[in-house]
């Protein structure tokens, strides 16, 4: 009985230390883990892989630094995949705080894949508008984006001269941590039938399966697990693959502590009744 009493009175700082160690040790030791690829992630991968060389993929950066640990690895993996297949990339976003993250990823990936700004990819930056913008691109992208994020006219980039509406975009990718994913599906996919895949935080992923089952989107990359699966498919392990053991260890510790806490509560209740 004293065991449970002592356990229930453990200093919370010890619990914080255990949690810190459960995260830090896997990051330091880097254990090898086997990644099992889920069907929604495989569908997303195959959709990108089937894009013809020279086609255009638009990526909307709809997350901010608070969600970057989960979603940024998806962007990096998708850029590697697109550039390897000679797919042109247009980057834009519905959140001003997300566009610098796109710049970081492009700066990291483009040199590794020997891609040139303006020739292989372009960053259009942020424009206000939300749903109106999503619908408006279906009429003419220049109504909202006539210059890139640096103020350079988009018609000065050769591949952008042939991009006017969703008909000229082979795939729309939304990387989101909120309701923008629903908006792209409903206003761009529903109205213009543009193919869409969604990459989102783990907490948002369950809500996307309705669209997948209704064939309104082509695939889902959900959370850090989904990002690690995509990294496995392109055979380029990154921060998601590195982070999964740490995340699993932390979750395992929390579950263990919950079990111990509940057992202690049950034992203390029985003692009180006696």
pLDDT at site 5: 65
Rounded to whole angstroms, the Cα distance separating 197 from 219 reads 5
Q: What is the mean pLDDT of each run of 10 residues along the chain (274 residues)?
A: 67 80 74 83 96 95 91 96 96 90 94 94 92 93 93 93 95 92 93 94 91 94 92 86 72 82 75 69
pLDDT at site 195: 95
pLDDT at site 181: 93
Burial of residue 215, with CB atoms counted within 10 A of its CB: 0-12 exposed, 13-18 middle, 19 or more buried: exposed
Alpha helices (H) along 89-196: 99-109, 131-136, 180-183, 190-192
Whose structure tokens read 């980057």? 91
pLDDT at site 40: 95
Specify whether the CB–CB gap between 269 and 8 falls below 8 A. Answer: no
pLDDT at site 97: 87
pLDDT at site 264: 74
pLDDT at site 73: 94
Which residues, 6 or more positions from 104, have their beta carbon under 8 angstroms from its beta carbon?
A: 72
Two tokens, residue 57: 């993929």
pLDDT at site 210: 93
Rounded to whole angstroms, the Cα distance separating 241 from 245 reads 8
pTM above 0.95, yes or no: no
pLDDT at site 243: 67
């Amino acid at each position: 009985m004293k065991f449970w009493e002592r356990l229930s009175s453990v200093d919370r700082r010890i619990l914080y230390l255990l949690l810190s160690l459960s995260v830090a040790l896997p990051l330091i030791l880097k254990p090898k883990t086997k990644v099992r690829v889920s069907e929604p992630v495989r569908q997303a991968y195959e959709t990108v892989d089937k894009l013809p060389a020279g086609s255009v993929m638009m990526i909307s950066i709809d997350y901010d630094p608070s969600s970057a640990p989960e979603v940024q690895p998806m962007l990096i993996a998708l850029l590697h995949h697109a550039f390897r297949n000679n797919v042109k990339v247009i980057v834009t976003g519905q959140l001003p705080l997300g566009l610098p993250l796109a710049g970081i990823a492009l700066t990291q990936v483009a040199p590794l894949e020997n891609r040139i700004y303006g020739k292989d990819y372009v960053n259009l930056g942020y424009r206000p508008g939300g749903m109106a913008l999503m619908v408006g691109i279906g009429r003419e992208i220049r109504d909202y984006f006539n210059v890139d994020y640096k103020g350079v006219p988009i018609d000065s980039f050769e591949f952008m001269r042939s991009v006017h509406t969703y008909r000229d975009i082979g795939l729309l990718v939304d990387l989101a941590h909120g309701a923008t994913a629903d908006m792209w599906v409903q206003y761009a996919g529903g109205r213009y039938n543009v193919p869409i895949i969604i990459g989102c935080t783990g907490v948002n992923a369950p809500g996307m399966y309705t669209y997948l089952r209704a064939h309104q989107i082509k695939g889902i990359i959900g959370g850090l697990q989904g990002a690690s699966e995509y990294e496995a498919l392109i055979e380029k392990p990154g921060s998601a693959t590195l982070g999964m053991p740490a995340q699993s260890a932390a979750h395992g510790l929390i579950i263990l502590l919950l079990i111990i806490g509940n057992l202690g509560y049950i034992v203390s209740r029985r003692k009180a009744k006696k």
